Amino acid sequence: MNDWKMLTLVGADQPGIVGQVTNALYRAGWNLGEASMIRLGGNFTIMMMVTGEGVVEPVLQPVVDALGLHMHVDNIAGSLHQHVVPNIQVRVAGADRAGIVAQVTAVLAEQGFNILELESDVAGSSERPVYIMHIQGYADLPLESLEAALDNLGDIDVRVSPIETLIG
């Protein structure tokens, strides 16, 4: 029961994807865990932990075919209640150019910063695209050393700030 699979589904966005996918799983006795679903570039993407008896692909195949989705399933070693609360956020914004993510994340990796979530988007217009990225993660080192390390990236505007999660 606690053997989780990571289910990945991607396809052209249309209303009803989540409803049809999750209903097919529910009717076949599958349970859902943590999930991330978002529309990226006109596609709808689903990454979702699922658990159940047997093989999941046949359960979803009719829906996948009907909706024109790509399906990928991995057995994973993960489990629920493994959350790491982020303590640092990194915001990046600037005129879009190649290498922004590579440069910023290379510095973060060098500093031992563990990325927990990354969201990025291209704003602006086709003529003047602006790259905006928001990273939340965990690092033991002081904010200042991360800031100093990110300070040498030239034209990329990087802002580092602490996340003080309020428990009340």
Partner 1 sequence: MAVLEILKIPDDRLKQVSEPVEQFDDELRAFIDDLEQTRRDGPAAVGIAAPQVGRFQRVVIVDVSNTRKPVPNHGYMILVNPEITHWDGFEMGREGCLSVPDYTGNVIRATQIKIRAQDPWGQPLEYEMEGYEARAVQHELDHLDGMLFIDRVVSRRTDLFQRKVYQKGGKPKK
Contact positions vs partner 1 (CB under 8 A):
81, 83, 85-86, 89, 91, 93, 117, 119, 121, 123, 132, 134, 136, 147, 157-168
Structural contact between residues 158 and 90, judged by C-beta atoms closer than 8 angstroms: yes
Minimum distance, C-beta of residue 61 to partner 1, in the bound complex (Å): 31
Minimum distance, C-beta of residue 117 to partner 1, in the bound complex (Å): 7
| Nearer residue to partner 1 within complex by CB, 23 or 161 | 161
Minimum distance, C-beta of residue 159 to partner 1, in the bound complex (Å): 3
Minimum distance, C-beta of residue 25 to partner 1, in the bound complex (Å): 22
| Nearer residue to partner 1 within complex by CB, 73 or 115 | 115
Q: CA 91 → CA 87, 94, 140, 163, distances in Å?
A: 13, 10, 18, 12
| Nearer residue to partner 1 within complex by CB, 65 or 121 | 121
Q: CA 22 → CA 1, 25, 49, distances in Å?
A: 18, 5, 12
Minimum distance, C-beta of residue 84 to partner 1, in the bound complex (Å): 10
Cα(123)–Cα(94) distance, integer angstroms: 10
Cα(31)–Cα(48) distance, integer angstroms: 10
| Nearer residue to partner 1 within complex by CB, 51 or 136 | 136
Three-point CA angle 134, 136, 138, nearest 5°? 150
Distance between alpha carbon 104 and the CA centroid of its chain, in Å?
17
| Nearer residue to partner 1 within complex by CB, 73 or 147 | 147
